[in-house]
Amino acid sequence: MMPLGMLIFGTLADVVKIEWMLMLTGLLMFILGFFLLGSKVLVKAGEPVPAAAKVEE
């Protein structure tokens, strides 16, 4: 993903100020975080496993 990001944002940096790109992408990540918090599947996947359900090896 790194070369793809460099290709996209490097080319975009020639047109738009980097400070504006950082603010915009930060804001988009902030908004995306709220959508991800609302995902019940992700919240359930992040819950700790109860001790009784752990498999002993």
**Domain residue limits at 27:** 12-43
Report pLDDT for 21. Answer: 92
* 23 located within any domain: yes
CB 48 within 8 A of CB 54: no
- Give the model confidence (pLDDT) of 18-49 as tens digits: 999 999 999 999 999 888 888 888 888 888 88
* In a domain? residue 38: yes
pTM exceeding the 0.75 threshold for the entire prediction: no
Domain assignment of residue 20, yes or no: yes
Helices vs. strands in the chain: H and E counts, helices first: 3, 0
Q: Look at residue 57 and tell me whether its pLDDT is greater than 60.
A: no
24 within some domain: yes
Residue 55 resides in a domain: no
Q: What is the pLDDT of residue 23?
A: 95
- Give the chain's domain count: 1
